[in-house]
Amino acid sequence: MDRLRAMQLFQRVAEIGSFSRAGQELGISSSVASNAIKDLEAHLGVQLLRRTTRSVKVTGEGNRYLERIRVILSEIDDIEEEVKDAGRKVAGLMRLQTPVGFAHQIVAPRLPALLGEYPGLSIELLARNGLPDFVGESLDAAVFIGEIPERDLVARVMGRSPFVTCAAPDYLARHGTPATPQDLASHHTIGIRSSETGASLDWRFSRGGEVSRMPMQCRATFEASEPAVEMAASGGGILQMINYLVAPEILSGRLVPILNDWLYPGAEIAFIHPRHTRRPRRLRVLESFVVTCFREAAQTP
Read off the CATH number of the domain in which 63 is found.
1.10.10.10
What pLDDT was estimated at residue 130? 79
Output the domain CATH number for residue 93.
Answer: 3.40.190.10
What pLDDT was estimated at residue 87? 54
Say whether both 151 and 172 belong to one domain.
no
* Domain end marker among 29, 60, 82: 82
- The residues that bridge with 167 in the sheet, in sequence order, are 256
* Domain end marker among 82, 104, 124: 82
Say whether both 139 and 201 belong to one domain.
no
Mean pLDDT of the chain: 87
Mean pLDDT, range 48-71, rounded to an integer = 87
Say whether both 77 and 127 belong to one domain.
no
Which residues are CB-neighbours of 290 under 8 A, at least 6 positions away?
96, 98, 107, 141, 143, 158, 271
Mean pLDDT, range 71-76, rounded to an integer = 79
- Comparing 41-45, 46-50, 163-167, 193-197, the range with the smallest average pLDDT is 193-197
What pLDDT was estimated at residue 81? 59
Mean pLDDT, range 113-141, rounded to an integer = 90
Mean pLDDT, range 234-261, rounded to an integer = 93
What pLDDT was estimated at residue 39? 93
Q: How confident is the model at residue 150 (pLDDT cuts 50, 70, 90)?
A: low
Say whether both 154 and 65 belong to one domain.
no
Mean pLDDT, range 109-137, rounded to an integer = 90
Mean pLDDT, range 143-171, rounded to an integer = 85
User: Given the DSSP bridges, would you call strands 220-222 and 189-192 parallel, antiparallel or unpaired?
Assistant: parallel
Say whether both 123 and 272 belong to one domain.
yes
- The residues that bridge with 92 in the sheet, in sequence order, are 121
What pLDDT was estimated at residue 274? 85
What pLDDT was estimated at residue 232? 96
% residues pLDDT > 70 (the chain): 93
Say whether both 10 and 64 belong to one domain.
yes
Say whether both 153 and 89 belong to one domain.
yes
% residues pLDDT > 90 (the chain): 45
Say whether both 56 and 178 belong to one domain.
no
- pLDDT of 47 above 90: yes
Which residues are CB-neighbours of 25 under 8 A, at least 6 positions away?
12
Model pTM greater than 0.85? no
Output the domain CATH number for residue 233.
Answer: 3.40.190.290
Q: Of the candidates 112, 3, 76, which has an alpha carbon nearest to the alpha carbon of residue 278? A: 76
Domain coverage including residue 96: 85-161+267-298
Say whether both 185 and 39 belong to one domain.
no
Regarding predicted confidence, which is higher, 276 or 96?
Answer: 96
What domain count does the chain have? 3
Separation CA 62–CA 57 (nearest Å): 9
Separation CA 219–CA 44 (nearest Å): 60
Say whether both 279 and 150 belong to one domain.
yes
Buried b (16+ CB within 10 A) or exposed e, 99-125: bbbbbbbbbeeeeeebeeebeebebeb
Q: How confident is the model at residue 140 (pLDDT cuts 50, 70, 90)?
A: very high
- What are the residue ranges of helices labelled H in the chain? 3-16, 19-26, 30-44, 60-84, 100-102, 111-117, 169-175, 225-233, 243-252, 281-298
What pLDDT was estimated at residue 225? 87
Say whether both 209 and 70 belong to one domain.
no
Say whether both 114 and 32 belong to one domain.
no
